[in-house]
């Protein structure tokens, strides 16, 4: 390919690119902007959920651990009330529990 | 009297406020870069509805990953790279579709068969541009990319290299080969 060919092709490509750039000089259409606006709102909501999710998950996990612990302590001593265990109240003895029930 | 006009915000400032949730800043970025990206997609795909889809997907992908944009490359370079990736995806989708319905050996039915035939008479400008467009579309994507970036986006060799993630020497060799491939296709055009 000689220099003349290169120059010719280059000139044609410049003409083509000028025409394509002119065709693309109208800016974004309303439909695109509207779609992007919706997308931005959806993405922001996702981000909020992702931000809050670890706290919600941590709270749920903590609740699950407390409930499991309460159940466990109730199993160990079926006469004690779970909340007594939780708040450190004195546990009734077996005799006290039996006399209370009688 | 004090000058109350505010200076135009830079890309970096607009990215920072978009990241903080300011939609109007992102809108400004879209308005600023839309035409260039649309021209890139048009150069890669030719006139078709996929051009708008590629541009839209570029902005959506950018917005979703805006927190990860560190500004190591300029925003136009970053956005053009996304557009190129999306355009290449669209080309692969198109090729899959064509191979399914037309068979592997068949030519793209939308491209003019006359693109390689010499024309004896000078062509009208629009017709000539149409033929150049057809010839560019016949280039394989790696060659088309450099032609689009160099001529349509007026990128330097280094910018092309950064966008495509290839060495500058490869950009130059691909460009030379692209021009060699285009030359017989455009033979006979009156210059």
How do residues B61-81 score in pLDDT, each as one tens digit? Answer: 999 999 888 888 899 999 999
For B42-56, B103-117, B126-140, which range has the lowest pLDDT when averaged over its residues? B103-117
Q: Looking at residues A94-102, what average pLDDT do you find?
A: 68
Asked if residues B76 and B33 have their Cβ atoms less than 8 Å apart, the reply is yes
CB contact under 8 A, B151 and A39: no
CA distance linking residue A100 with residue A94, whole number of Å:
10
CA distance linking residue B85 with residue B88, whole number of Å:
5
For A62-66, B1-5, B98-102, B144-148, which range has the lowest pLDDT when averaged over its residues? B1-5
Chain A nearest CA to B1, separation (Å)? 35
Q: For chain A, what percentages of helix, strand and coil (3-state, to nearest 5) are there?
A: 80, 0, 20
More confident residue, B154 or B118: B154
Which residues, in sequence order, are CB contacts of B109 under 8 Å at separation 6+?
B98, B102
Residue % of chain A over a pLDDT of 90: 42
Rounded to a whole number of angstroms, the CA Rg of chain B reads 19
Buried b (16+ CB within 10 A) or exposed e, B106-117: eeeeeeeeebee
Q: Does residue B106 register a pLDDT over 60?
A: no
pLDDT score of B3: 54
Judged by a CB distance cut-off of 8 A, whether residue B140 touches chain A is no
Chain A nearest CA to B155, separation (Å)? 12
**Mean pLDDT for all residues in chain B:** 86
pLDDT band at B86 (very low <50, low <70, confident <90, very high): very high
Chain B nearest CA to A39, separation (Å)? 7
* Interface pTM, i.e. ipTM: 0.80
Q: Which of A12, A20, A23 is facing B191, going by the closest CB pair?
A: A12
Q: Does residue B124 register a pLDDT over 80?
A: no
pLDDT score of A2: 77
Q: Does residue B47 register a pLDDT over 80?
A: yes
CB contact under 8 A, A36 and B59: yes
Q: Looking at residues B115-129, what average pLDDT do you find?
A: 59
pLDDT score of B147: 96
CA distance linking residue B95 with residue B108, whole number of Å:
9
Nearest to A36 by CA among B21, B18, B30, B84: B30
Q: Does residue B155 register a pLDDT over 80?
A: yes
Nearest to B153 by CA among B94, B89, B92, B79: B79
More confident residue, A35 or A88: A35
Q: Looking at residues B86-105, what average pLDDT do you find?
A: 84
Q: Looking at residues B113-125, what average pLDDT do you find?
A: 48
pLDDT score of B73: 87
Asked if residues B75 and B15 have their Cβ atoms less than 8 Å apart, the reply is yes
The model carries a pTM of 0.75
Q: Which helix (H) or strand (E) holds A51?
A: helix A30-76
CA distance linking residue A24 with residue B42, whole number of Å:
8
Residue % of chain A over a pLDDT of 70: 73
């Amino acid at each position: 390919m000689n220099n003349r060919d290169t120059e010719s092709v280059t000139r044609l490509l410049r003409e083509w690119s000028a025409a394509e750039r002119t065709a693309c000089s109208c800016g974004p259409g309303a439909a695109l902007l509207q779609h992007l606006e919706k997308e931005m709102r959806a993405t922001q909501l996702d981000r909020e959920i992702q931000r809050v999710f670890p706290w919600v998950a941590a709270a749920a996990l903590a609740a699950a651990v407390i409930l499991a612990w309460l159940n466990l302590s109730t199993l160990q001593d079926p006469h004690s009330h779970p909340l007594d265990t939780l708040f450190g109240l004195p546990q009734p003895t077996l005799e006290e529990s039996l006399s209370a029930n009688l | 009297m004090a000058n109350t006009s505010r200076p135009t915000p830079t890309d970096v400032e607009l990215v920072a406020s978009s990241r903080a949730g300011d939609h109007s800043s992102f809108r400004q970025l879209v308005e600023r870069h839309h035409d260039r990206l649309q021209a890139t997609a048009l150069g890669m795909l030719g006139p078709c509805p996929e051009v708008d889809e590629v541009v839209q997907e570029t902005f959506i992908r950018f917005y979703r990953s805006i927190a990860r944009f560190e500004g190591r490359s300029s925003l136009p370079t970053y956005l053009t790279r996304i557009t190129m990736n999306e355009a290449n995806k669209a080309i692969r989708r198109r090729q899959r579709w064509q191979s399914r319905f037309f068979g592997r050996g068949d030519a793209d039915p939308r491209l003019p068969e006359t693109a390689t035939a010499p024309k004896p008479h000078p062509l009208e400008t629009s017709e000539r541009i149409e033929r150049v467009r057809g010839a560019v579309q016949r280039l394989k994507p790696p060659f088309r990319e450099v032609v689009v970036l160099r001529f349509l986006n007026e990128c330097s060799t280094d910018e092309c290299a950064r966008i495509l993630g290839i060495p500058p020497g490869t950009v130059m060799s691909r460009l030379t080969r692209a021009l060699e491939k285009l030359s017989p296709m455009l033979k006979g055009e009156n210059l």
